[in-house]
Amino acid sequence: MIRWSLDGSTTERWIAVGKRPGWPGKAGLNCFLLAATVFAPAVLATEAEELAVLASRHFDPDFLSRSAEYHQYRLQLFLLQTTLLLSFLLLLVRGTLGQWGRKAVEIAGGRPWLARVLILGSIYVALALLRLPFSVVRYHHALSYGLRHDTLQLYLTDWTKSFLVTGSMVLIVGLLLLGLFALFPRAWTVIATVVTGLLAVVLTILAPLLIDPLYYQFRPLDNKALENRLVAMASCAGLVADKVLVANASRRSSSVNAYFTGIGATRRIVLYDNLIEKFSDEEVAMVFAHELGHWKGNHIRQGLSFGILGLFIGLVFADRLLRRLVDRPLNGIRSRGDPALAVPAYAIYVLLMFVALVPSNMISRQVEAEADWTALELTGDPRTFVETRVRISQSNLSNVLPSKWVEFLFFGHPSPARRIRMAENYDPLRSELPAGHCQESLNSPFPRIAS
């Protein structure tokens, strides 16, 4: 999954303390750290200035100011929401945890599994209700900037669907993990990783068929000439895409987007109808080429692999914490099967999700950069890439110039300024494919596709 940096190369540096061939030991390390302390801020400042100049060439000051204002408010909301949720969880795990289990078992009529359902469900509902006001504020904020035009009723209907779908997953996986923790003290982390990993694969296969239709209606691309062009591009890239689907995203927002989803027979590339209606065929083809980059790079499979690895690491961490709670009688937890363990287990889950945000976003940014590079390889057209990226950023009011720490912590894509810079610096000689690998096939007559 991590194979390309933003400029198409990967550089690794290793620093070791101690003497080795070509390394002067601790004195050399101290000199290196001193130099890094002195020059690193200057390097970062130079890069920031370079990106600022680039952004000023492609975006007007009013747009940059409006975009920064919009995203600054959203960041403040996120930080406030996170503080509230973590504070709630901290209060939840204070005191004697065993009381939760005994009360839940009493309500559940002595059935431990049902007691776990009650605890997990109660925490999930409480957290969802704490998030809801922030979600509604974000909805009105986007509405005021012209990014949404759906009614509050439709928005809350979508929220309810997500609440039910996510809640079902939380209960199924939560019951599974707590049950395995109780039944297999030594091997539960391995068993849970395998079973949960298989569930993730099945969900990825079925999501395009069962979950996506809850939010969008899909139709074939009406523009057959454009469809022929996109299918020809996929064929040139060595992929089989016999049709292109369009989602009715315009029902809710003015945002422009596309995505690649599914595994095996359910793999597909979906384009938003806003993209088809607002952008030229050349720009749509560039967006499609980016999604082909995800397909060609097996990014969904790689993402699942990294996710399963991260799951195992998280389960090992959770195992150590939960075992300590079981071994401490002051908590009132009587055994590994005590339903009260659902409380700290849920708190650990939420905490690990926040911790995983940084590495998962780092991987995601590398993957997106690789897909961008593949799009440039397939089309050999950096000019259209830049024009398309600028127009998408304007349509979506994207944060073109985020601060370094905001991009590092929260961005799953390279910032628009970085993506534009990569295209402007694109060098066909560094490409694994001939420049404009698929351009010839795109400009040639296309075979008709059966309607």
Q: How many CB atoms lie within 10 A of CB 359?
A: 11
State whether 158 and 53 are in the same domain.
no
Task: Tell me: do 196 and 247 sit in the same domain.
Answer: no
Residue 75 lies in a domain: yes
Q: State residue 441's pLDDT score.
A: 52
pLDDT at 82: 95
- The 10s digit of each residue's pLDDT in 364-375 is 999 999 999 999
- Same domain membership, residue 425 and residue 389: yes
106 lies in some domain: yes
Instruction: Tell me how many domains the chain contains.
Output: 2
Domain shared by 177 and 93, yes or no: yes
Same domain, 179 and 99: yes
Q: Is residue 366 part of a domain?
A: yes
User: CA 392 → CA 59, 221, 387, distances in Å?
Assistant: 12, 20, 9
Query: Does residue 75 share a domain with residue 162?
Result: yes
Distance between CA 241 and CA 79 in Å, rounded?
41
The reply to whether 265 and 128 lie within a common domain is no
Q: What pairs with residue 148 in β-bridges?
A: 253
Q: Mean per-residue pLDDT for 100-121? A: 87
Least confident of 46-50, 277-281, 362-366: 46-50
238 in the same domain as 195:
no
pLDDT value of position 3: 27
What is the average pLDDT value for the chain, to the nearest integer?
A: 86
More confident residue, 443 or 48: 48
Using alpha carbons only, what angle is made at residue 437 by residues 431 and 442, rounded to the nearest 5 degrees?
A: 150
What percentage of the chain exceeds 70 in pLDDT?
84
pLDDT score recorded for residue 161: 97
Average pLDDT over residues 211-224: 95
Q: Is residue 2 part of a domain?
A: no
Say yes or no: 76 and 199 in one domain: yes
Give mean pLDDT, residues 5-16. Answer: 30
Q: Which two tokens stand for residue 374?
A: 């593949």
Question: Does the pLDDT value for residue 273 go beyond 50?
Answer: yes
Residues 187 and 109 reside in one and the same domain? yes
Whole-number Å distance between alpha carbons of 315 and 435 = 45
Q: How confident is the model at residue 109 (pLDDT cuts 50, 70, 90)?
A: confident
| One domain, residues 138 and 252 | no
Residue 33 pLDDT more than 70? no
Digit-coded pLDDT (tens) for 151-162? 999 999 999 999
The pair of structure tokens assigned to 7 is 């400029």
Within a domain: residue 10?
no
Is there a domain that residue 134 lies in? yes
pLDDT at 429 over 80: no
| Structural domain that includes position 113 | 63-215+327-353
Q: Is pLDDT of 321 > 80?
A: yes
pLDDT digits (tens, 9 = 90+) for 286-319: 999 999 999 999 999 999 999 999 999 999 999 9
pLDDT exceeds 50 at position 83: yes
C-beta separation of 247 from 272 below 8 A: yes
- Residues 92 and 190 placed together within one structural domain of the fold: yes
pLDDT for 48 equals: 87
Q: How confident is the model at residue 225 (pLDDT cuts 50, 70, 90)?
A: very high
Is the residue at 25 inside a domain? no
Least confident of 10-19, 63-72, 88-97, 268-277: 10-19
Q: Give domain status of residue 18, yes or no.
A: no
- pLDDT-derived band at 18 (thresholds 50, 70, 90) equals very low
- For residue 131, CA distances in Å to 197, 252, 330 come to 28, 21, 32
Residues 6+ apart with CB under 8 A from 432: 377
